[in-house]
Amino acid sequence: MGDDLAWVSGSGSRGFLVGADMLLDGVHFDSGRHAMRAIGRKAVACNLSDCAAMAVRPVAATVSLALRRGMTMQQANDLMRGAAAAAKEFDAQIAGGDTTVWDHPLAIDVAIVAEPYAGVQPVQRGGARAGDRILVTGPLGGSLLGRHMTFTPRVREARRLSRRLGARLHAMMDISDGLLLDLHRICAASGVGVCLVEEEVRQAVSAAARRAGDRDGRSALDHALCDGEDFELLIAAAVEDSEVRRLGVPLIPIGWIRKGGFVMRLASGRMRRLKPAGYVHR
């Protein structure tokens, strides 16, 4: 418990992993704007991203629906087609679920079962060590402009990294609630601190973060640090900069794990204390 999935001891030597995500209309998607197939795809993709976060193989998922009264069978079928397509893309199966109807907005609960890859230990949050490089698998920020519905779970990238780095891949999770908040969770689980490097983080600012900043007046850097639903991998690993490009996965270095503190080294050389800002469920 406490990681992106719960790692459960089973009769086999490796055990299995389970997790669940609930998505709500008006919070995680908008059924008035988003197609049902896209909504179903995202519901499963969020769970697949949790599998990526621990570098494990998704096996099967259940999809339970609380349909808004008045929704059509065509809408329900389209939603499930999107869910099934997302699972199939990563060789997982939809193994069942439940369906009910109520007088409230659409709610979708997906539960997933995964297993470790042969010879690969699931990667947890609590293993980051001072001196580790912090890396992300792609640009950050501005996801609510559309990418939060179309992201690709980094399942393949996680498997490749776990094979290439082995025990040097110390901690990992997916960025769902914002870089700063999720990085703080890794630090708290590992008992370490962090120093982000402003010039490096700026290399991870997405074009969508810049567009979002133009709309609301916040800086693009702030969007990259605090926006949620990027679903890129956040990694702490013992890796040299010269090695990063040879790992076979697009990676952006953004800082270092250190013994204590939660700071960013600005371009001026000054240290700025950071707060674990992001999306908080209330």
pLDDT one-digit tens code per residue, 134-151: 999 999 999 999 999 999
Answer yes or no: do 79 and 156 share one domain. Answer: no
- Number of Cα atoms under 13 Å in the Cβ half of residue 51: 32
User: Is residue 10 over pLDDT 80?
Assistant: no
The CATH number given to whatever domain includes residue 151 is 3.90.650.10
Q: What's the pLDDT score for residue 277?
A: 86
Q: Indicate whether 68 belongs to any domain.
A: yes
Q: Indicate whether 156 belongs to any domain.
A: yes
In this structure, the number of other CB atoms found within 10 A of the CB of residue 57 comes to 18
pLDDT digits (tens, 9 = 90+) for 38-90: 999 999 999 999 999 999 999 999 999 999 999 999 999 999 999 999 999 99
58, 155 contact by CB (below 8 A) = yes
pLDDT digits (tens, 9 = 90+) for 156-178: 999 999 999 999 999 999 999 99
Q: What's the pLDDT score for residue 9?
A: 79
d(CA 267, CA 265): 7
Answer yes or no: do 265 and 192 share one domain. Answer: yes
Q: What's the pLDDT score for residue 215?
A: 96
User: Is residue 278 over pLDDT 90?
Assistant: no
Q: What's the pLDDT score for residue 12?
A: 60
Residue-number span of the structural domain to which 15 is assigned: 6-116
- The set of residues, in sequence order, having a beta carbon less than 8 Å from that of 223 and lying 6+ positions away, is 140, 141, 142, 205, 209, 212, 213
pLDDT digits (tens, 9 = 90+) for 83-123: 999 999 999 999 999 999 999 999 999 999 999 999 899 99
Answer yes or no: do 89 and 149 share one domain. Answer: no
Per-residue pLDDT averaged across 177-185, rounded?
A: 97
Answer yes or no: do 108 and 143 share one domain. Answer: no
d(CA 274, CA 187): 13
pTM of structure: 0.95
- The set of residues, in sequence order, having a beta carbon less than 8 Å from that of 232 and lying 6+ positions away, is 136, 137, 138, 139, 140, 154, 174, 175
Answer yes or no: do 87 and 112 share one domain. Answer: yes
pLDDT digits (tens, 9 = 90+) for 212-252: 999 999 999 999 999 999 999 999 999 999 999 999 999 99
Q: What's the pLDDT score for residue 143?
A: 97
User: Is residue 11 over pLDDT 80?
Assistant: no
193, 261 contact by CB (below 8 A) = yes
Q: What's the pLDDT score for residue 2?
A: 82
Domain count, the chain: 2
In this structure, the number of other CB atoms found within 10 A of the CB of residue 123 comes to 27
Answer yes or no: do 58 and 157 share one domain. Answer: no
Q: Indicate whether 142 belongs to any domain.
A: yes
Examine the fold and report which residue of 90, 116, 142 is the final residue of a domain before the chain moves on: 116
Answer yes or no: do 141 and 221 share one domain. Answer: yes
Q: Indicate whether 86 belongs to any domain.
A: yes
